[in-house]
Amino acid sequence: MKASLDHIVIGAASLDQGVAYVKEHLGVAIPKGGEHAAMGTHNHLMQLGNNVFLEVLAVNPDAPALSRPRWYGFADPFVRRQLARRPQLLTWVVNTPDIAHTLAQSAFSFGEAMLMSRGDLHWYFGVPDDGRLLAGGILPYIIQWQTDTHPSGRLRDLGCTLKQLEIHHPQPDWLASILSAVGAAGCVALKPLEANATPFLAAHIETPIGLKTLSSHIDDTV
């Protein structure tokens, strides 16, 4: 079953920092989204064209204590230290028409389908029990929207379009096999790295100020 690229996630220690990061790198002020009560996070959102969007995500300091770890690794001390240094491209999400079938296709655990909501939007999302980043953010989360049309159509169009999402990895064949099992191989370009090199994501985005790149490299300054 074929999946499609749904959105990319910029993780930040706070929404103010995340919004400033997008402004600095893409030249646009990304609008406010809402809150995820079940995960204690909140976001800002904008279109990236072709039913794809960009999400800036941070822990909501006003959220009550949770009975489970937050998603996207926000409960992980390493991730929190990284984001305290600066916001970064944290991970990506693919959209499937049948999340139960998709999650059952891979030997890699993408989590259990959990019904989520924000305002009047509802969706199923593959959430690991420990809330971890999947392969450190390299592998995608899986979503199934409970809407007739893709929700990116509701978001502001600020003149930014995702041209290509890349994964740079020393084991591209291993990565391709996992992505193929969940129908996501065509969502991303795989770029080989030398053995033992650190994998990273790179999103190339056409913006009002030219072609820009967001990366999961913590030392990347592009």
Q: What is the pLDDT of residues 108-144, one digit of tens each?
A: 899 999 999 888 899 999 999 999 999 999 999 999 9
CB-based contact 58:14 (threshold 8 Å): yes
The alpha carbons of the chain give a radius of gyration, in whole angstroms, of 16
219 confidence band (pLDDT: 50, 70, 90): low
Is residue 1 scored above 80 in pLDDT?
A: no
- pLDDT at site 218: 61
Average pLDDT over residues 187-212: 96
Q: Can you tell me the distance from the alpha carbon of 44 to that of 17, in angstroms, rounded to the nearest whole number?
A: 11
Element (H, E) at 144: strand 141-145
List pLDDT tens digits, range 68-119: 899 999 999 999 999 999 999 999 999 999 999 999 988 889 999 999 988 8
Q: How many structural domains comprise the chain? A: 1
In a domain, 220, yes or no: no
Is residue 206 scored above 60 in pLDDT?
A: yes
Query: CATH number of the domain that 23 lies in?
Result: 3.10.180.10
220 confidence band (pLDDT: 50, 70, 90): very low
Report the SS3 class of residue 101. Answer: helix
- pLDDT at site 120: 87
For the entire predicted model, the pTM comes to 0.94
CB-based contact 142:96 (threshold 8 Å): yes
In a domain, 222, yes or no: no
Query: 10 Å Cβ neighbour count for 166?
Result: 16
In a domain, 114, yes or no: yes
What is the pLDDT of the chain when averaged over all its residues? 93
Q: Can you tell me the distance from the alpha carbon of 75 to that of 132, in angstroms, rounded to the nearest whole number?
A: 8
In a domain, 194, yes or no: yes
Domain that holds residue 210: 4-215
